[in-house]
Structure 1
Amino acid sequence: MEDRDWLILKLLYEQQNITKTAQALYISQPTLTTRLQQIEKEYGVQIVQRGRRGVQFTPEGEYLAQCADEMLIKLRQIQEHVANMNKKVAGTLRLGVSNYFTTNKLPGLLKLFRSEYPDVEFKVMTGWSKDVYNMIYHHDVHLGFVRGQYEWGGSKHLLFNEPICVASSTPVRLEELPALPRIDYQTDPLFKALIDGWWAENYVQPPHIGMVMDRGETCKKMVINGLGFAILPKLVLEDAPDLYTIDLTDASGVPMTRKTWMFYHEESLHLNMVKAFVRFVEKQDIYHI
């Protein structure tokens, strides 16, 4: 089987749909079908059966699909090891990055790193922190930039620790919040749980949520226009100095913060490009990039 065949099996098993898999691979459906038939011929078994709800894998096909992840990781490790043998800092660095970090910190960080290591390319995958956590856990990326207090058994580096605050266009008092319109936004489950816990500790009434935005940046713009208050990590507000903020504390008076981490597997440091990137990041003041 060719390397691409393992990727075909992996994606088809995830999608359970010929059309979506072909689109993800940027190939036509007939080409994908032909390649599947060739794989079946090579192994002498039927891999999938078509039905009204898409494709269903046979036991033999399911076994091959489950092997695909392991094979793709192994093939990638071989390629990286060969590229690493000449001791040059080069190759493609795979990064999993939370949405906020991608927008506000990653471009400047990669620009600085590229100026020192011009032979390193980047493949960046973005998403919620929980998604990035899964990427690094399953070795889909070399490093993950994750916001929040995730349990991680591998190596990690704290990038920064930002306060959590109430933001509003006019001065407000904490005791007034239950009566004021709050603007919410879609965020990571851990952060949402943290804010919900703080609210439950301080108020009997549920919040009066008038809007729910797709992300923090959109929420901030609504606050700037006086449409309500929001509870946000403070770095989101760094370009909105006219907003009024109140830093939150927990029941013990300890400031509430949100940590941003760099996660990686210790064994990945044998790759020159990963080791160089980790050491480079450790020396940076990421908060002020």
Structure 2
Amino acid sequence: MEDRDWMILHTLYKEKSITKTAQRLFISQPTLTKRLQQIEKELEVKIVDRGFKGVQFTPEGEYLAKCAEDMLHRLRVIKENLKNFHHQVARTLRLGVSNFISKYKLPALLKYFKDQYPQVEFQVKTGYSRDIFALLYSQEVHVAFIRGEYNWPDQKHLLFEENICVASKQEVDLEQLPQLPRIDYKTDVLYRQLVDNWWAERYIHPPYIAMVVDQGDTCKEMVANGLGYAIMPSLFLENVKGLHKICLTDKKGRPLTQKTWMMYHQDSLTLNVVNAFVDVVKQLDIYSL
């Protein structure tokens, strides 16, 4: 089997669709189907069945899909280690970055690093922090930028800490929040739990959720137009004029905050590119980028 065969099996197992797999791998469906048949013939096993529910893997196919994931990981590590022998800060740096950080902080950070190490390329995956954490755990990324208190047993570095605020167009009384329209946005589970726990400690009645939008930026615009209040990290509210902000505290009067971390595996520092990137990030004030 060739390297591309393992990628075909790995991608097909994730997508469960010949069409989507062909699109992701930039090959035609007939070519993909023919190659899959050749793999089955070579190994003398049935790998998949195709039906109304899409592609279904046989037990032998399930085993090969797991092997494909392992093989691709090993091949990636081998290539990275070979490049490392030349003591160059080069090759591809794989990053997992939470949605908010990828939009507001990552572009400037990558430019700063690229200016110092022009031979480095970036492979970036973005998403909710819980998904980025899973990518880091499975070593699909070298370094992750994650918001919230995830239980990570390896290396991590605190990038910054934000206050959690009530933001509104007009001044509000915190005691009146249950009666006021609130605008929520889709966000990480841990952040949602942080806000929900704060609410439960303070109020008997649930919040009056007037609307739920897809992103924090949309939520911020709704607030700026006087359509309700929102509970958001302070970084969302920087450089926004005309909003009233109240930084929240817990029952003991301590500020309610959210932390943003850089997390990575200690073993990955043996790669020159990862070691250089981690050093650069530790020396920077990411919040001010």
Give the TM-score normalised by structure 2.
0.98
Percent same amino acid among aligned pairs?
A: 60
Match of 1:256 in 2: 256
Looking at structure 2, the residues matched to 178 and 62 of structure 1 have their Cα atoms a distance apart, in angstroms, of 51
Correspondences of 1:67-146 after superposition (within 5 Å): 67-146=67-146
One-letter code of the match for 1:176?
Q
One-letter code of the match for 1:214?
D
CA shift, 1:241, in A, is: 3.5
Looking at structure 2, the residues matched to 72 and 154 of structure 1 have their Cα atoms a distance apart, in angstroms, of 23
Secondary structure in 2 aligned to 1:140? coil
Match of 1:228 in 2: 228
Give runs of ≥4 in structure 1 deviating > 2 Å: none
CA shift, 1:239, in A, is: 2.2
CA shift, 1:68, in A, is: 1.1
Looking at structure 2, the residues matched to 207 and 91 of structure 1 have their Cα atoms a distance apart, in angstroms, of 50
Match of 1:177 in 2: 177
Cα deviation code 1:154-178 (max 9, x no counterpart): 1111100000000001111111111
Q: Gapped runs of 5+ residues in structure 1?
A: none
CA shift, 1:40, in A, is: 1.0
Name the count of aligned residue pairs. Answer: 289
Looking at structure 1, the residues matched to 4 and 277 of structure 2 have their Cα atoms a distance apart, in angstroms, of 29
Match of 1:49 in 2: 49
Cα deviation code 1:66-116 (max 9, x no counterpart): 111111110000110111110010011010000000000001111111111
Secondary structure in 1 aligned to 2:267? helix
Which segment drifts farther, 53-62 or 96-105? 53-62
Q: Gapped runs of 5+ residues in structure 2?
A: none
Cα deviation code 1:106-148 (max 9, x no counterpart): 0111111111111111011000000100011101111110000
Secondary structure in 2 aligned to 1:240? coil
Looking at structure 1, the residues matched to 142 and 38 of structure 2 have their Cα atoms a distance apart, in angstroms, of 33
Secondary structure in 1 aligned to 2:276? helix
Which segment drifts farther, 260-269 or 8-17? 8-17
RMSD: 0.9
Looking at structure 2, the residues matched to 131 and 216 of structure 1 have their Cα atoms a distance apart, in angstroms, of 18
One-letter code of the match for 2:224?
I
Give the TM-score normalised by structure 1.
0.98
Looking at structure 2, the residues matched to 47 and 212 of structure 1 have their Cα atoms a distance apart, in angstroms, of 43
Cα deviation code 1:45-74 (max 9, x no counterpart): 111111121122122111110111111110
Looking at structure 1, the residues matched to 55 and 218 of structure 2 have their Cα atoms a distance apart, in angstroms, of 39
Secondary structure in 1 aligned to 2:197? helix
Match of 2:5 in 1: 5
